[in-house]
Amino acid sequence: MNLPIRLFTGATLLEYVLVWLTAAAFLIGAVLNASGHPQLRASFVRLGFPFWWCWVTSALEVVTALLLITAGTRYIGVGLGILIMLTAIASIVRIRNYRELPPPMLFLLLLIAAGLGSHA
């Protein structure tokens, strides 16, 4: 059976694990943001975004995950994910709420590790 989209399989086991782990992390983040929990919406407002921005972020995270696992588009996914995480980091630093930095920093490190592979 041929899928209409070829999935990324990785050149090495480490590359494979990093890309799929990063995509899974973004999918989990997307599900959490899509929940639109009142506390989550309030945190987006505290960061200077409109309350509905959690759903925009969720959509962007789903797109990032799909680009990461689709053969030939991994670097686009890495780039989009890095933009999302740098925006989150800049927003957190702007309001000086440094205790919220670890999750986006971890996502950023995962993206960098996934992007360092030799095959896209």
Q: What is the pLDDT of residues 41-91, one digit of tens each?
A: 999 999 999 999 999 999 999 999 999 999 889 999 999 999 999 999 999
For residue 66 the two structure tokens come to 């799909």
Element (H, E) at 56: helix 53-69
pLDDT band at 27 (very low <50, low <70, confident <90, very high): very high
Residue 5 lies in a domain: no
What is the pLDDT at residue 114? 87
pLDDT band at 120 (very low <50, low <70, confident <90, very high): very low
- Average per-residue pLDDT for the chain: 90
pLDDT at 5 over 90: no
Element (H, E) at 64: helix 53-69
What is the pLDDT at residue 4? 61
Give this prediction's pTM: 0.86
Residue 8 lies in a domain: no
Residue 6 lies in a domain: no
Q: What is the CA radius of gyration of the chain?
A: 15
For residue 37, give its domain range: 13-115
Of residues 28, 48, 22, 12, the one with CA closest to residue 108: 22
Residue 40 lies in a domain: yes
Residue 1 lies in a domain: no
Domain count, the chain: 1
Using an 8 Å Cβ cutoff, are 67 and 56 in contact? no
